[in-house]
Amino acid sequence: MISCAALSLKDVCRMSFRLVYPLKGILPFLVVAGNLICWIGPLFVLALLKLLVLVKKIQGFCYRMMTLIYNVAVWVDDQLLWRVMGLRMEVRGLEHLSRDKLYLVLANHQSWADIFVLQSLLNFKAPIPKFIFKRQLFLMPVVGLICWAYDFPAVSRYTKEEIAKRPHRKGQDRKSLQASLLHFNKTPGSIVNFAEGTRYASLKARRRQSPFRFLLPPKVGGLTVILQSMGDQLHQILDLTLAYECPQFNFWDFMCGKCRRIIVQVRHISPEEAFKRSRRHLKDILPAEAAQWIYRLWEEKDQTLQKLRAELTQERLALE
């Protein structure tokens, strides 16, 4: 056991920093949570009005107001993250986006921080991002209400074991996603698909026997349903590669300002270029075709992620 006398001033400072550092995230988290909560009342009223009043002009007005609420709430978070906390995000390859076009956003997924990055990237530039989420999130306070109000596409994901016990559930996740996508005609948005299905972790990668160094194998079902259901409306596919200064971190680390630099590499891909067919014929795409394309995309993304992480590591070492 080390005596107090044996501890140098440097050791005491280091230990104090480790104890105090996690507390840095409290104030930013309270600001983010408060920003969400203050908009819940107006959002709920507008969403309820949009649901109950079957006049298209009124529904359109309600959704425009809801979109404005979303944009302002994201702007407030941006002021906190990029100005007050001083985090830096460098976006590469982003071209002009349109707020009246439909985009499919494909991105790697490492943390809940990804949501803040994507929202900031698309805010006021494209239709509001709508994340494909697990139906169980409807039960979460605030988050569930936001998903319901904005008609986020919902899926009911079942494991192989659950399907084996209840065979009738096979294909239900596909049907639920198809039903959710029908709302896009009334409430447009950018579809965000984290194709890995969950946040990346090295343990998950080993369990799934991932062939990639920094990614989990992509799930093809969601991509196939999106292309078959909405391919004729799709303007572009945005391929986003998110690289953080710290390879391993969680959302609380992000709130504490641990990852101070983020690089987002953007690729604009036309559906015709990707699948060698017109948009109206994407409804006939087969899962095997979608799988072949996204696995090739994931191989390129894995290489891009390796280069970006190496660049961030070199910059961090140069500053130390």
Considering the chain, what percentage of its residues have pLDDT values greater than 90?
Answer: 56
Residue 136 CA to residue 233 CA, distance in Å, equals 28
Residue 20 CA to residue 27 CA, distance in Å, equals 13
Residue 82 CA to residue 61 CA, distance in Å, equals 31
Domains in the chain, CATH or no CATH each: 87-319 (3.40.1130)
Res 300: pLDDT: 97
Span 29-41, pLDDT tens digits: 999 999 999 999 9
Average pLDDT, the chain: 86
Q: What is the 3-state secondary structure (H, E, C) of the chain?
A: CCCHHHCCHHHHHHHHHHHHHHHHHHHHHHHHHHHHHHHHHHHHHHHHHHHHCCCHHHHHHHHHHHHHHHHHHHHHHHHHHHHHCCCEEEEECCCCCCCCCEEEEEECCCCCHHHHHHHHHHCCCCCCEEECEEHHHHHCCCHHHHHHHCCCCEECCCCHHHHHHCHHHCCHHHHHHHHHHHHHHCCCCEEEECCCCCCCCHHHHHHCCCCCCCCCCCCCHHHHHHHHHHHHHEEEEEEEEEEECCCCCCHHHHHCCCCCEEEEEEEEECHHHHHCCCHHHHHHCCHHHHHHHHHHHHHHHHHHHHHHHHHHHHHHHHHC
Band of the pLDDT at 2, cuts 50, 70, 90?
Answer: very low
> Mean pLDDT throughout 284-294?
93
Residue 236 or 222, more confident: 236
Res 87: pLDDT: 94
